[in-house]
Amino acid sequence: MSGIMTLIVLVLAVLTALQLIRIFELSSKARQTAEYEVTDRDNNNQGWLMLLFGFGLIASFFWMLNAWLPVTLPKPASAHGTDYDNLMTISMLVIIAMFVLVQPILFYFAWKYRGAKDRKATYYEHNNRLEFIWTIVPAVVLAVLIIYGMTTWSNVMNPKNEQEPLVIEVYAQQFKWTARYAGQDNQLGYANVRLIKDANVIGVDTLDTKGGDDKITTEIHLPVGRPVLFKFRSQDVIHSAYFPHFRAQMNCVPGMTTQFQFTPTVTTAEMRQDAEVQAKVARINKIRTEKGLEAYAYDYVLLCNKICGSAHYNMQMNIVVESEAEYAKWLTEQKTVAETL
């Protein structure tokens, strides 16, 4: 039945198209030109459409900024996140300025110089000075952005440690995360997927004395203000540990260890008090109530951001940033490897 319907719709569409073509051809015959020839009227119409589109593009761009900027990530919850956001804002302003400058010029020219039979174009084939200018100006702007970007990058990737960072391993597998805290000695015991056996689910080496006090957990808790050095491992395929709220991300690659360090600066509780976040949560909860879903309170979350298989879209772990005391309390409740194995 639906097959026949589709067929009928298709046939009708083709017939309509044929009629349209006939009309186009007949009307140009009436004007004694071939249909394919571009008339002054065409140029005029298309030129105006170009101008209209240029306006529309810029207008809808600002409409989107206004409507959708609030859905983007709220303020960063890490120390370097602030630098990241500053760099992002400045780079964005530069490219937005270019966008709202160049696009209108393009569409304006298209409209302004729409052709007519009685006009002739200006023969103008090059101008070294102009070309020099628009090579140098972007070069200078880019040089600034490159230097700014590289400085930020090297500060993020090579953090100076006044305080010894807390070491946490994040272990990825299809399709879940596991965390391992380094314990009293703040040193992770050796681990390898080859050592996985029964309850030893992430392959900790039980003979390594550094590993006995490690704690394996299903949630990440972080004390606010302490640098945390994350070490990443993967059991099977490449995953990517993505902490959008902290502006942090690193791939988890089987056969090697990668790392990323950041300092959380805003506790989960504080973040929930932030005005912007509260507005966001209110909007989200409105949507959720309509759908009959449970209400949501703001949480930091770890996502997988490298295609890793069927449930890639649902590989998450909760992250809680809290005071040093709350953190210490939570940690003592977790069992050590020595206790579990």
Q: Residues 289, 292, 293, CA angle at the centre, nearest 5°?
A: 80
Between the two ends of the chain, the Cα-to-Cα distance in Å is 63
Dihedral sign for Cα atoms in the order 194, 195, 197, 201: negative
Q: Which of 301, 312, 326, 338 binds Cu ion (CB under 5 A)?
A: 312
The item of other proteins, Cu ion, none sharing an interface with residue 7, based on CB under 5 to 8 Å by kind, is none
Cα separation, 337 vs 341, whole angstroms: 6
Cα separation, 113 vs 46, whole angstroms: 11
Return the residues of window 237-296 that contact other proteins according to CB under 8 A: 237-238, 240, 242, 244-245, 247-251, 253-256, 258-259, 280, 283-284, 287-288, 293, 296
Which of the stretches 93-101, 258-266, 308-316, 331-339 binds Cu ion when contact is defined by CB under 5 A? 308-316
Cα separation, 171 vs 109, whole angstroms: 56
Q: Which of 87, 331, 338, 341 binds other proteins (CB under 8 A)?
A: 87
* 180 makes contact with other proteins (CB under 8 A): no
**Considering only CA atoms, which of 183, 166, 261 is closest in space to residue 223?**
166
Which of the stretches 16-24, 120-128, 297-305, 332-340 binds Cu ion when contact is defined by CB under 5 A? 297-305
Which of the stretches 32-40, 204-212, 216-224, 263-271 binds other proteins when contact is defined by CB under 8 A? 32-40
Task: Provide the minimum distance between the beta carbon of 202 and other proteins in the complex, in angstroms, as a whole number.
Answer: 10
Strand order in the sheet with 215-217: 215-217, 176-181, 166-173, 228-234, 258-262
Task: Provide the minimum distance between the beta carbon of 331 and other proteins in the complex, in angstroms, as a whole number.
Answer: 26
Instruction: Give the single-character DSSP code of 228.
Output: E
The item of other proteins, Cu ion, none sharing an interface with residue 157, based on CB under 5 to 8 Å by kind, is other proteins
